[in-house]
Chains A and B, each alone.
Chain A
Amino acid sequence: MGLFFKLNPTTGQPLYLQLMQQIRHAAETGALRDGDQLPGIRTLAEELVVSPNTIVKAYSELQHEGLLDLRHGSGAFVCVKRRTRSMADDVQFARRRLRDLLDDLRDNGLTDEEIKRAFEAELLYPAPSTQLTRKR
C-alpha cells in the first residue's frame, strides 16, 4: 500500500498534507473504495520512512473530514460517501481539461518543466502571480 503513496520532503508542503491529498485522491479516483483498510501507523511509517507523527496527523485530519474511520486497535478504514463518488467523475473531467490545456501550452512552445513551474507557482501563490507572470 505504501508504494502507492510518495511523499516528497522538498516541495514546501508538510508531509502529512501530501499524504492526506494522496489518500483523498485515491478515494476520489476509486483506487481506494468504501471499507478498504489502510496500513497501520507503524507499517506505513516504516514503508514511507517518515515520522509516525506524519501518519497520525494525516489519519486524524482525514477522520475529521469523514474520509477515514479510525477503529481503535483495528486500523483505519476508508468511508467513501456518495459525494466523493461523484467527485471521481469530476476528477476524470478535470484531467481531460488539463490534458487539453497541456496540449495547448506545448503547442505554444512551453517545455514540460516550464509548465510544471508555472503550475506550482500558480497553486502556491495564485493571486499575485497571475498578474505578474504575464510578461509577454
Chain B
Amino acid sequence: MTNPPVILTRDLTKSYGAATAVRALNLSVQKNRITAFLGQNGAGKSTTIKMLLGMVRPTCGDADVLGKRISNAKENCELRRRVAHVAENEPLYSYMTVEQTIAFASSFYPDWQPDHAGKLLSQYRLLPRQKVKTLSKGMRTKLALLLAFARRPDLLILDEPSEGLDPVGIEDLLQTLVAKAADGASIFFSSHQIAEVERIADQVCILHHGCLLMNASLDQLRQSYRRINLSFASAPAQQDLRITGVEKIRTEGRRISIFASQNADAVIARARDLNAVSVDVAPVALREIFLETVREN
C-alpha cells in the first residue's frame, strides 16, 4: 500500500460553457489493482478519461498519471508511452485496413509485442485486409482493444471497453484484463457492465454529476453492505432505527426494509431491542449498491 497512486487528480474540473462535466474531482487509483469507474451516461467518466490522456484540457485542477503531470506537455508525452488506452470513439482511420492500422499504431510504441498482436488478431477473428470503415461496432472495439493489449503498458485506461461486444467477446475481454493485471499492469476502466465489474474489479469508483461518490474496495463493499428486512408486531418509528451505516429505510405496513452500508450487526441488535418478530439479512450486489448510491444523490 506504500506504492504511489498511478492516477491522482487534484480538483480536476472541466466545464463546457455553463455546464460542468467534471467538478473538483479528487481521485486516487492504486497501483497493481483493477479499478472500475462507474457512473450513469453523462456522469463525466469519458471527460475524466480524456483529460487523463491529454485529449481534453482541464478547465482547472491538475492530475498525475504514473507520477507525470498531465498539464506538462513533455511529461504528458512520456506518460503516453507507458499508458495504453481505449478512448470513447477511438479515432481509427477509416480508409485503412485492419493490418495497416496495426502496422501504423505499432510504429509508435517501443513496448509493442508483435506475437501477441498476431494472437489477438486471430482470437478476435479480425480480418487483416478488411477496411476499418466496414467494421461493425463490436469489431471496431476489438481492433481498438488489440491496439491497447498488444503493448506492455504500466497502466491501461479503458473507456467502455466492452461496448458493442457480444457475450463471448466480453468474456475474452475480461480474461485479457485479468492476464494483463497478472503481468503487472494497473487497470482503470469505465463500464456499464456491473455484473462483469463485480467479477474482476478490486476497487470501485462511482462518479455522479461530475463528483466522486465512492472509491472503495469491492471486498469491503461485499463485507459491509447489507439489506435487512424486519417485521414487527407494530412498526416502530423510522428514526428509532437510524443509526450509523443506515443509508435508507422504507416502511410498508409492519415491515421495514433497511439498506445499510456498514454496521449491520448494530442494526440487528437495535431491531431486536425494538422487538422485531423476524429479521432477514441479505448481502447486496454491486448493481444495487450502485443504484441506491446514485439515486440517493
- Which residues in A have some Cβ–Cβ distance to B below 8 Å? 9-16, 41-42, 45-46, 49-54, 117, 121, 124-125, 128-129, 131-133, 135
Query: Assuming the A-B contacts A125-B281, A131-B272, are A51 and B34 also in contact, with contact meaning beta carbons closer than 8 angstroms in the complex?
Result: yes
Which B residues, 265 to 297, have Cβ-Cβ distances below 8 Å to chain A? 265, 268-269, 271-272, 276-286
Question: What are 9 A-to-B residue pairs whose CB atoms are below 8 Å?
Answer: A9-B222, A14-B219, A46-B179, A53-B181, A121-B281, A129-B281, A132-B277, A133-B278, A135-B277
Nearest CB of A to B66, in Å: 19
Q: Which of B202, B283, B286 contacts A51 (CB 8 A)?
A: B202
C-alpha gap A96/B222 in the complex (Å): 31
Partner of B201, one of A14, A42, A51, A117: A51
User: Which of B182, B199, B223, B279 is A52 in contact with, Cβ under 8 Å?
Assistant: B182
Which residues of B169-198 have CB atoms within 8 Å of chain A's CB atoms? 171, 174-175, 178-179, 181-183, 195, 198
Bound complex: CA of A82 vs CA of B75, how far in Å?
58
Q: With A10-B285, A42-B179 in contact, is A125–B223 under 8 Å at CB?
A: no
Binary contact track B194-231/A, C-beta < 8 Å → 1, others 0: 01001111100000000000000011001101100000
Minimum C-beta distance from B259 to chain A (A): 14
The 3 closest A-B pairs by CB, nearest first: A12-B283, A42-B182, A14-B219
Q: Please, how many angstroms separate the alpha-carbon atoms of A69 and B32 in the complex?
A: 23
For residue A136, give the distance in angstroms from its CB to the closest CB of chain B.
Answer: 11
Q: What secondary structure prevails in chain A residues at the interface with B?
A: helix
A17 to chain B, nearest CB (A): 8
B residues contacting the other copy or chain, number (CB 8 A): 40
Are B182 and A10 within 8 A (Cβ)?
Answer: no
Cβ 8 A contact of B223, one of A14, A49, A53, A117? A14
CB-nearest residue of chain B relative to A9?
A: B198
Chain A residues with CB under 8 A of B174: 49
Please pick, from B181, B222, B279, the residue contacting A132 in the complex, using a CB distance under 8 A. Answer: B279
Q: When the two chains form their complex, are residues A11 and B283 in contact, meaning their CB atoms are under 8 A apart?
A: yes
CA distance A52 to B34 in the complex (A): 9
* Interface check B33, CB cutoff 8 A: yes
B residues less than 8 Å from A121 (CB atoms): 279-281
Q: How far is the CA of A53 from the CA of B1 in the complex (A)?
A: 13
Q: How far is the CB of A54 from chain B (nearest CB, A)?
A: 8
For the complex formed, measure the closest distance between the CB of B37 and the CB atoms of chain A, giving whole angstroms: 15
Q: For the complex, what is the distance from the CA of A117 to the CA of B285, rounded to whole Å?
A: 16
Q: A12-B223, A128-B272 are in contact. Are A45 and B178 (CB under 8 A)?
A: yes
Report A-chain residues with C-beta under 8 Å of the C-beta of B269. Answer: 128
In Å, the complex CA distance between A11 and B226 comes to 11
Contact residue among A49, A128, A131, A133 (Cβ-Cβ distance under 8 Å from B200):
A49
The answer, yes or no, to whether B264 is at the interface (CB within 8 Å) is yes
Least CB separation from B224: chain A residue: A12
Task: Compute how far the CA of A52 lies from the CA of B186 in the bound complex, rounded to whole angstroms.
Answer: 11
* B178, A46: Cβ atoms closer than 8 Å: yes
Residue in A14, A53, A129 whose CB lies within 8 Å of B222: A14
Which residues on the B side are within 8 Å of A125 (C-beta)? 264-265, 268, 279, 281
A45 in contact with B222 (CB, 8 Å): no
Select A124's contact among B33, B200, B281, beta carbons within 8 Å.
Answer: B281
- Among A50, A51, A132: residue with most chain B CB under 10 A: A51
Please, which residue of chain B has its CB at the minimum distance from the CB of A133? B278
Nearest Cβ in chain A — how far from B145, in angstroms?
16
